[in-house]
Chain A
Amino acid sequence: MSNHALEQATASSGQRSTDAESTAAVRLERVTHEYGSSGDRAVTALRNVSVTVQTGEIVGLEGPSGSGKSTILHAVTGLLVPIDGTVELLGTDLTGLSDRKRTRLRRQHIGIVFQRFHLLPSLSARANVALPLVQAGVPTATRRERAETLLERVGLADRTGHLPGELSGGERQRVAIARALVTDPDVIVADEPTGELDTATGADVLDLLTDIGRNRAVLVASHDDATLSVADRVVGLRDGRVVTDGR
């Protein structure tokens, strides 16, 4: 199952952009978002932010805590809907979709890599990788086969039956990357993917991320210069605004 044939997958899910930039994998257009109730207590996380990520491109998001990096990742994955602006995934505006449809699009087209891995400690590496396929109703044997193939690809062929607690930090992040890839997504979103790893392990994980990201759109949020160095383009954020966009 390849999701790169995006037109088929998204044609029934919502509006499609018709302008020249509709081929962008991710496009945020004048996005503004606030947390909290309206009024004095509301915190503006994003102000009029526009970012585009093409397929095959690795884009870094740089900025201090509270600058809006995570909010952009949330918006791209459809986990939040901004109060203003549009968020297009493969030409489909997520802001107009129901929670259920956004979840389906996320499952089909996005792979997420978390800073703290967030593997289920009760499941083996193989079962963790196979989890996203459960929702699609993929039979057990197929799930297992695909998970083992991906674990082999990230260099963990001999760790498939291990629980996360039995793996090192680097190995856990590799499992998480394999899990992000199991649905063959068009977009990879990584939030501080090396934040919990030492320098050498972090470099290995970045190599893996850039390798698998060649034919996809990758969005990486990080404080770390070494992590951002693998990006084709870095978007700088301060106080919810884009302050730089380029190398």
Chain B
Amino acid sequence: MSLQRIAVRTRAVVGLALAQLRRAPGRTALTVVAVMLAVLSVTLLASLGVGVVQTGEDGLENANRDIWISSDPIDPAASGTANPIVGSHGVSADITERDDISSASPIAMHEVYIGTESGDLERTSAVGVHETHDGFDFEAGGGFETVLNVSAGEHLEHQRTGEPTNEEIVLDPNTAETLDVSVGDTVFLGTSRETAQDHEFTVVGIAAYYSQYLGSDAEAVPLTDLQAVAGTAGTDRATFITASVEDGADRDAVSDDLAAEYPAYDVRTSDEQVGAMFEERSLVLASGATLVGLALVGGIVLTINLFALVAYQQRDELAALRAIGLSRWVLAGTIGVQGLVIGLFGGLAGLAATPVLTMALNHLASSVVGFDSLLQTPLEVYVAGLALAIVVGTVVAVVTGWRAGRYARLEHLEG
């Protein structure tokens, strides 16, 4: 077959396909919209999957800590007894003395009750830290800083009192709204309804920093104050000890050294910590993966159905073309080119709508559950969406066109 013949046929096939699309503009537009929806279902769910992973990683990177020391369980929703590291300030001080560690500090987590004089008590999570930092992205007010330098070995047991000393708190925006308080107001805090009235804290800032990692509202409180409220000041309990290595030190090697030195604890680098946290959330991750899988399968099935219908609607025309002697390849090409054009437009429309819907869903997620940038759209997400539309669309259209050619009989031309 000469190249000229192929070129003539190709041009004719493209012209035929475009003529068919132009004949029913309403149907063509609906088909483009259907492909757009298939693309969106893939891009948005893939964005969610990417966002879940990215949020976890960002959380640890923003904390700017290289090494995480914990001891099972590390469930942040657990009560004080689940702050398994005892004498945490002492351990932190010991670790800081190493030449390859620049700083180390403990973090505690407790379920607490919080409220105002006039309102009911709300159950929420409190994260006890030495100080807040720039990454908090305060909506209002600012942070706090405890006076003593933990890393320098201060704040050891004999230096601490059993009562809160700073009495400052950074509230999650949702909590602040529920309690109807703002910066400068006073709230009560305690680990039980009965003891909540005993301790007053001043709201110094509003930020959702810890909420986005925990997936629920979380308030930031000076560590020693939280320990005092929880009654763990004596045993100096913490959930994590985080450490930063000196510049130039090998993070993995330091982690291994610490693991050998503290065999009772789990010592992980920040990357490993992400993995460990995800292991604990395997059900959530499995659900996410299932959703992404279903989105892909659903998108493909929708696309297959769509182009099978496109071919089915043209069965009379295809049967006539077959009867007058056009080959199955020409028929398949005619439907295939329609698939390519519809896939291209539907795909581009889907990609154009993705960032808009992502922004809207992120806004919704941020206001409802406190996660910022939950849906993230790296280039790969767009590539996957466009590939679904164009590649799957075209291949499916060619196959259905080929099959339609096979079944195109004169029976379709009668009756």
Contacts and interface: CB of A to CB of B under 8 A. Distances in A.
A139 B8 contact: yes
A123 interface: yes
A127 B317 CA distance: 14
Contacts of A74: 409-410
Contact of B325 (A106, A121, A127, A138): A106
B327 A103 contact: yes
B281 interface: no
A228 interface: no
Contact of A70 (B11, B19, B330, B414): B414
Interface residues of B, number: 31
Nearest to A111: B324
Interface string B337-356: 00000000000000000000
Contacts of A137: 1-2, 4-6, 8-9
B320 interface: yes
Contacts of A131: 321, 324, 326
B338 to A, nearest CB: 11
B323 interface: yes
A3 B6 CA distance: 23
Contacts of A70: 410, 414
B19 A122 contact: yes
Interface in A189-216: 191
B374 to A, nearest CB: 46
A135 B410 contact: no
A94 to B, nearest CB: 14
A118 interface: yes
A226 interface: no
A122 B22 contact: yes
Nearest to A180: B324
Contact of B23 (A107, A116, A118, A121): A121
Given A107-B324, A122-B22, 5 more contacts: A123-B19, A131-B321, A135-B327, A137-B5, A137-B8
Interface of A: 70, 73-74, 77, 79-80, 100, 103-104, 106-108, 110, 112, 114-116, 118-123, 127, 131-132, 134-140, 179-180, 183, 191
Give the top 8 A-B pairs by smallest Cβ distance, nearest first: A107-B325, A137-B5, A122-B23, A118-B320, A122-B19, A134-B12, A137-B8, A132-B324
Interface of B: 1-2, 4-6, 8-9, 11-13, 16, 19-20, 22-23, 316-317, 319-327, 330, 409-410, 413-414
20 contacts: A74-B409, A77-B323, A103-B327, A107-B326, A112-B324, A116-B413, A118-B316, A118-B323, A118-B413, A120-B16, A120-B321, A123-B16, A131-B326, A135-B9, A135-B330, A137-B8, A138-B8, A139-B4, A140-B12, A183-B325
